[in-house]
Amino acid sequence: MKKIVVTGAGGFIGGHLVKVLEKEGHKVRAVDIKPLNEWYQISNGADNLVLDLRLRDNCVRAVNGNNEVFNLAADMGGMGFIEKNKAVCMLSVLINTHLLVASRDCGIERFFYASSACVYNAEKQTDPANPGLKESDAYPALAEDGYGWEKLFSERMCRHFSEDFGLITRVARFHNVYGPYGTYDGGREKAPAAVCRKVIEAGITGNKEIVIWGDGRQTRSFTYIDDCIKGIRDIMDSNIEEPLNLGSSEIVSINGLVDIVEDIAGYKLKRIYDLNAPKGVRGRNSDNNLIKKYLGWEPSISLRKGMKKTYEWISRQLIEENKNRKGISRFNK
């Protein structure tokens, strides 16, 4: 049994990670800035703390007396959020910086940092037929403005804390993680959840249209949450010092993603393309050669299977929301 801190525990990935660590028998301290009633999942067996980790004293309070830290805390969301909140995203650098200092001073044994595919050079993501981004493609640096630069800088901080202070750090570059118990509306949702919500709402309202950001030909790869959590655990426990991709190499266009969700729903929608909406790079995919070589990790859940699980969960949430509104439909307001 270890004493483990998970920051960003009130969020999507953090909430799932806390559940797994508790199931493994570890003593978990779960930390997030959001009030407890806004956490996506709450583990009653964890030491749940509401703290603003942009403040150094709170970072000391969070990590003191523990063995390991998983830092998943960041102010972020989907493309609609990060393109319009660059300064806000960059302020997350305070969280990782203060957590690293606190971890060094409090004798933390291992430190995991959740980075992102947004660190990759934008010039290598102009073709929808992206062959897969290798870890070396982060340099020469031309990261996603705001969020991507913060992640790349924080990766370097981890590296230098290892070199200068001996703190063992591990870094994973997440590629579009999705699944149940995540946000699906409000502006921070990512493409898989947003597409599911839009298709479900079209079925409820009878308005058989869907708005797609961009021309729909931009491509991504998406990683189901269960595969992500296993990858996090494998990377944290490994001896690999360099950042590793943690993603799927199953590339799909946004149009193709809509096709999958329509097939799950059992109906087709008229597509309306908003060419002025945030759309990010043209093509992004994960090259998994290094993580396969070092750890033997690769995704076990296909995009279609993962999207079906996600669709079913979001559908239940929307139906329940409608019931709780005492007959006043959110879709007809």
pLDDT in tens, 178-205: 999 999 999 899 999 999 999 999 999 9
Question: 78 falls in which pLDDT band (50, 70, 90)?
Answer: confident
Check: CB of residue 213 under 8 Å from CB of residue 278: yes
Task: Assign domain 191-220+250-285+303-332 to a CATH class.
Answer: alpha beta
Name which of 47, 299, 23, 4 is nearest 177 in CA terms: 299
Question: 321 falls in which pLDDT band (50, 70, 90)?
Answer: confident
Neighbours of 237 (CB within 10 A): 13
Mean pLDDT score, 139-147: 96
Point out which residues pair with 32 in neighbouring strands.
50
Q: How many CA atoms lie within 13 A of 246 on its CB side?
A: 28
Question: 330 falls in which pLDDT band (50, 70, 90)?
Answer: very low
Mean pLDDT score, 90-95: 97
Q: What is the pLDDT of residue 326?
A: 52
Mean pLDDT score, 66-90: 93
Ranges of CATH 3.40.50.720 domains, the chain:
3-178+223-246
Check: CB of residue 153 under 8 Å from CB of residue 242: no
Q: What is the CATH number of domain 3-178+223-246?
A: 3.40.50.720
What does the mean pLDDT of the chain come to?
Answer: 95
Point out which residues pair with 3 in neighbouring strands.
27
Say yes or no to pLDDT of 82 above 50.
yes
Which residues contact residue 268 at a Cβ distance below 8 angstroms, ignoring those fewer than 6 apart?
208, 262
Ranges of CATH 3.90.25.10 domains, the chain:
191-220+250-285+303-332
Name which of 114, 118, 117 is nearest 170 in CA terms: 114
Which helix H or strand E contains 219, and what residues bound it? strand 219-221
Q: Which of 147, 178, 184, 311 is catalytic?
A: 147
Angle in degrees, CA 11, 13, 14, rounded to 5: 60
Q: What is the pLDDT of residue 28?
A: 98
Say yes or no to pLDDT of 333 above 80.
no
Q: What is the pLDDT of residue 80?
A: 86
Q: What is the pLDDT of residues 270-288, one digit of tens each?
A: 999 999 998 899 999 999 9
Q: What is the pLDDT of residue 331?
A: 36
Say yes or no to pLDDT of 34 above 80.
yes
Check: CB of residue 136 under 8 Å from CB of residue 290: no
Say yes or no to pLDDT of 332 above 70.
no
Q: What is the pLDDT of residue 146?
A: 95
Q: What is the pLDDT of residue 320?
A: 87
Examine the residue annotation and report whether 147 is marked as an active-site residue of this protein.
Answer: yes
Q: What is the pLDDT of residues 214-273, one digit of tens each?
A: 999 999 999 999 999 999 999 999 999 999 999 999 999 999 999 999 999 999 999 999
